[in-house]
Chains A and B, each alone.
Chain A
Amino acid sequence: MSAVIDDDHSHGDDHAHGPAKGLMRWVLTTNHKDIGTMYLWFSFIMFLLGGSFAMVIRAELFQPGLQIVEPAFFNQMTTMHGLIMVFGAVMPAFVGLANWMIPLMIGAPDMALPRMNNFSFWLLPAAFLLLVSTLFSPGGGPNFGWTFYAPLSTTYAPASVTFFIFAIHLMGISSIMGAINVIATILNLRAPGMTLMKMPLFVWTWLITAFLLIAVMPVLAGVVTMMLMDIHFGTSFFSAAGGGDPVLFQHVFWFFGHPEVYIMILPAFGAVSSIIPAFSRKPLFGYTSMVYATGAIAFLSFIVWAHHMFVVGIPVVGELFFMYATMLIAVPTGVKVFNWVSTMWEGALTFETPMLFAIAFVILFTIGGFSGLMLAIAPADFQYHDTYFVVAHFHYVLVPGAIFGIFASAYYWLPKWTGHMYDETLGKLHFWLSFVGMNLAFFPMHFVGLAGMPRRIPDYNLQFADFNMVSSIGAFMFGATQIFFLFIVIKTIRGGVPAPAKPWDGAEGLEWSVPSPAPYHTFQTPPEVK
């Protein structure tokens, strides 16, 4: 603890009154707010890039037949869209929120490891430059899906796969360092009196997420390392000819992959658990059960991975085990939904933009949970697997789940970050356009999926034409709306009604005790927590 404070002082003196000037401020910064800001902007750029790839996909699928892009390029688009959204948009957005808010929420002066914080951010632009540059290489970029199943990603991969592997390694190192930093901050830098069970849920969910990251990112690094060895060093981890097994790839990948989907949702759970009480003007219902439910979800997420592999030929007992274990996750998830609804129950609700996104989060995420339950029924999954129904499921949990959670957080804390209120009318417009666009885009996918339309294919049967056109229109609407969000954020940064320290009358937490915009250095002396 004392080491940290010394560290902070030793290089904090020269700019104790504010940030350094110019570009080097951003390159060399160790300030949690600067780094949080950079993470958030990086994530938004990746969101637009991954989103533009999705627009290519939806343009091709606007009508049946092959019109706009070559199938080979279509495959690169689906792959890159998934990789960029997961590793470039959603994960860095949450790390950005963690950087900004965790120190403010627990009364810490900064993150525990400020220099490592800088390094873990700057690895990301390098990783994604590497990844995106493969699109311009001979043979094209990764085309094997974001799940990169062997042997598609080994024996049959384009030459650029080696760069893909290296990019994943860099992202993994960045995430692990970020997670270590979060854990160290939460465990070591809490203000006196801030006991674990007084921490806001965002801090709790991030603590658990960080442990999930440390547990599974190394396994992801391991699986890409095995690919690298198969491709270049003649091993046969995933090659049947040499005694390996491609199904092994799927087991190792999903051992990472399922906890990964919770890494993308738990911090959103936490943020929403602050926002709903604020606009219901009631304390969160069932705080303790929320903490335990999060822990239970994290634990269960390690024993359900094979629900992604029901059709590879696992024994019946295995199918049953993974089916019931998966369904069990619905219990703690249901506890959370119940608590959010109970928090709103008989509250004095107002519907500012963060609350709109939070309420949509609860409703639409629940729809995604239900389609997840349908997919968890092993015999039914034989029909649904690899169809658009799965695409509908995970977009319902990720777009109104993770992404709406991030939007809600952004509007909720923008006054603290910028010192200005965002324009409420524009915010609401952003919400409604996103809400309608997103449902138009993804709801019809349930229907075409149940009717058997396969995913990741650039062409489809005529019978699916109408629903696909609706999906594409919704997707274009959702996509364009996010440019509008960019406009709203820039407008808020540049001006607007000055925000008071606590712009939301029902909000709770230490972050509202510092002025808006939050000064460059906060909580140099720890606050007193009663």
Chain B
Amino acid sequence: MNGLPLKRLVRRLLLLTVVMFAFGFALVPIYDVMCRAFGINGKTGGQYEGSQVSDPTRTVRVQFMSTNASDMVWDFYSTADQIEVNPGAVNQMVFVAHNPTDKPMSAQAIPSITPAEAAAYFHKTECFCFTQQVLQPGERIEMPVRFIVDRDLPGSVRHLTLAYTLFDITARHPPVAQVATEGVQRAR
């Protein structure tokens, strides 16, 4: 008696189903954008290209944490626990990683900032987290991170923490394959 013919109605409902399935996947990029925009989860952005003028009147304390994800056996630590920085200035901290096993391994470090609302004001100009690390048995490397704390960092934030979690990704990115291209990797 009413409305659309059955076939057309069913086709529309099926279309809605497909759209919602796609929407589920669209939530992935949407989530990433939201995280960046609102600093959800302390996610930091990629490499920062800009530069800023240092503000000597203000200092912010930056603490460093290094954690191994489960099953990760490397030694992984920062060379200092914390530093005082001026917003706008470029700072550097060196992290150390050591592979104590007798096998080559690859690793990926994932950064995060606390408090999360400061994440959008923390810029990394260089970071070992932008690439993966491959260490030969017993090898030890120093890995720098260079960063700028934005001058617009809200005044309420006087203290922030940069935490890295180191994941063993040997299974996903076998180091053998990378040994062949090692020269290239190091040159980069």
Contact = CB atoms under 8 A, between A and B. Distances in A.
B43 to A, nearest CB: 8
Interface string B1-18: 111111101100110111
B31 interface: yes
Interface in A203-224: 214-223
B40 A315 contact: yes
B172 interface: yes
A384 interface: no
B94 to A, nearest CB: 23
A117 to B, nearest CB: 13
Contacts of A190: 1-2
B73 interface: no
B24 interface: yes
A191 B2 CA distance: 10
Contacts of B1: 1, 188, 190-192
A313 B108 contact: no
B9 A187 contact: yes
Contacts of B24: 218-223, 252, 255
Given A190-B1, A219-B23, A245 B13 contact: no
Given A192-B1, A318-B38, A216 B20 contact: yes
A228 interface: no
Contacts of A248: 27-28, 31
A3 interface: yes
Contact of A4 (B6, B14, B31): B6
Contacts of A399: none
A242 interface: yes
Contacts of B6: 1, 3-4, 112-113, 184, 188
Interface in B19-41: 20-21, 23-25, 27-28, 31, 35, 38-41
A220 B172 CA distance: 27
Nearest to A189: B1
B172 A313 contact: no
Contacts of A221: 21, 24
Interface string A1-23: 10110000000000000000000
A285 interface: no
A240 interface: yes
B13 A180 contact: yes
Given A192-B1, A241-B110, A241-B167, A219 B116 contact: no
B21 A222 contact: yes
Interface string B115-132: 011000000000000000
Contacts of B13: 179-180, 183-184, 214
Given A222-B25, A223-B24, A242 B108 contact: yes
B54 interface: no
A187 B3 contact: yes
Contacts of A243: 110
A207 B66 CA distance: 53
A247 interface: yes
Contact of B18 (A4, A187, A218, A245): A218
A130 to B, nearest CB: 21
A313 B69 contact: no
A181 to B, nearest CB: 9
Q: Looking at chain B's contact residues, is the secondary structure mostly helix, strand, loop, or mixed?
A: helix
A237 interface: yes
Give the interface residue-count category, chain A: 35 or more
Interface string A180-204: 1001100110111000000000000
B165 interface: yes
Contacts of A312: 41
B62 interface: no
A375 interface: no
Given A241-B69, A242-B172, A248-B31, A215 B16 contact: yes
A234 interface: yes
A192 B1 CA distance: 7
B111 to A, nearest CB: 10
A297 interface: no
Contacts of A217: 17, 20
A314 interface: yes
Given A192-B1, A219-B21, A241 B10 contact: no
Interface string B136-179: 00000000000000000000000000000101110010000000
Contacts of B7: 3
A214 B24 CA distance: 12
Given A187-B2, A215-B20, A251-B31, A245 B10 contact: no
A226 to B, nearest CB: 8
Contacts of B69: 240-241
A170 B157 CA distance: 50
A19 B78 CA distance: 77
A245 B31 contact: yes
A176 interface: yes
A242 B169 contact: yes
Nearest to A237: B28
Contact of B110 (A218, A237, A240): A240
Given A180-B13, A234-B172, 11 more contacts: A112-B6, A183-B9, A184-B10, A214-B17, A215-B16, A219-B23, A240-B69, A242-B108, A245-B31, A252-B24, A255-B24
Interface of B: 1-7, 9-10, 13-14, 16-18, 20-21, 23-25, 27-28, 31, 35, 38-43, 69, 108, 110, 116-117, 165, 167-169, 172
Interface of A: 1, 3-4, 112-113, 176, 179-180, 183-184, 187-188, 190-192, 214-223, 226, 234, 237, 240-243, 245, 247-248, 251-252, 255, 312-315, 317-318
29 contacts: A1-B1, A1-B5, A3-B6, A180-B13, A187-B3, A188-B1, A188-B3, A188-B9, A190-B2, A218-B20, A219-B20, A219-B27, A221-B24, A222-B23, A222-B25, A222-B27, A223-B24, A226-B25, A234-B172, A241-B168, A241-B172, A242-B108, A242-B169, A245-B31, A245-B41, A248-B31, A313-B116, A315-B117, A318-B40
- What 8 pairs between A and B have smallest CB-CB spacing? A222-B24, A241-B167, A218-B21, A218-B20, A219-B24, A180-B13, A240-B110, A187-B3
